[in-house]
Structure 1
Amino acid sequence: MKIKFGVVMLLFFMATSCVKSQTDKVQVVNATIFEEKMKEDGVQLIDVRTPQEFASGHLPNAININISDPDFEKKMQGLDKNKPVLVYCKSGGRSGRACSQLKDLEFTTIIDLDGGITDWQASGKPIEN
C-alpha cells in the first residue's frame, strides 16, 4: 500500500513539474486583464494573425507579425526581450504557438490573450481598422 501511494505521489509531482515548466514565463489572461496590461509602459502588443485578418480589425496600437510568415522568428527577435510582449490572434491557437516561440527566444514577460480577439470583442472591448 505504501509503495503504491509513493508511486502515485511521484507521478503526481513529475506531472505537475512538467506542466509548470511548460507554462513558466507565459501568462494566459482574460480580456479585462489584457486590457490593463496594454496600458503599462513599454509593452509590445503583437497580433499574430494574417495581414488580411489584421486589416479587418485589430486591437489599438497592435503590430501585425504573421505567425505563418517564414520570417516570423526573425521579426520576433527584433523585439525587446526585456519588455512585456502581449500576444493575440483570433481565438488563442496561433498566439499560444507564438508564445512558445517567444519563451524559447528567452523573452522575460509573455502575456497571451485567452480566447483571442473573438473573446475581446465579445467582452465589448474596442478594436480599430
Structure 2
Amino acid sequence: MGLFSGLFRKRGYTTITGSQLQKMMSNNNILILDVRSLGEYKGGHIPNARNIPVDTLSSKLSTLNSYTDSEIVVYCASGERSARACDILSKNRFNKVYNLSGGVSSYNGKLSKN
C-alpha cells in the first residue's frame, strides 16, 4: 500500500500560467525562483528572480527559511526541473509553492540580464 500511496499522493504545489504570475508579481512577499543553470539565468531571467539550480536546491533550503509561508513561484526552461524543485520545496515545509507552466517562455514580460 505504501508504494501506491506514494504514486497517487497529491502534489504539494499548484501549476500556474504566465498571466497568473503577472498578477502575483504585485505581491511584495513573493519569491520567484529560477532553477535553471547559472548560464541560463544570465542569458535572461524574470526580473527579481533568485537563481538556485535544481541540482543544488536541497543543500540550499536553509537560505530560503524566511519564505516558508510566502508564495514561491518556481520556473525553469520547460517546467520539468521546476516541477522537481516544487516537490523538494513542498516536502520541506514550504506551504505556497507554484510551478510556472511552460517555463520562462510563458512569461510575457521583459527578461532581465544581470
Query: TM range, normalised to the smaller chain?
Result: 0.7 to 0.9
1:75 maps to 60
- 1:18-65 CA distance string (max 9 Å, x none): 3xx422x41101100011112212111110000000000000000000
Percent of aligned pairs with the same amino acid: 27
Runs ≥4 residues deviating over 2 A: none
TM, length-normalised to structure 1 = 0.75
Partner amino acid, structure 1, of 2:109:
K
Equivalent position SS for 1:28:
strand
Distance 1:48 1:112 in 2: 11
2:10 maps to 22
Partner amino acid, structure 1, of 2:63:
G
Aligned ranges 1:99-114 → 2 under 5 Å: 99-114=86-101
CA contact under 8 A between 1:82 and 1:107: conserved in structure 2? Answer: yes
Unaligned runs of 5+ in 1: 1-13
Partner amino acid, structure 2, of 1:107:
F
Distance 1:90 1:119 in 2: 9
RMSD: 1.7
Bigger relative contact order, structure 1 or 2 (CA pairs below 8 A, ≥6 apart): 2
Partner amino acid, structure 1, of 2:91:
D
Q: How many residues align?
A: 106
Distance 2:62 2:72 in 1: 12
Could you say which structure has the larger radius of gyration?
1
How far does residue 114 in structure 1 lie from its aligned partner after superposition? Answer: 0.3
- Name the structure where helix makes up a greater proportion of residues: 1
Distance 1:96 1:65 in 2: 14
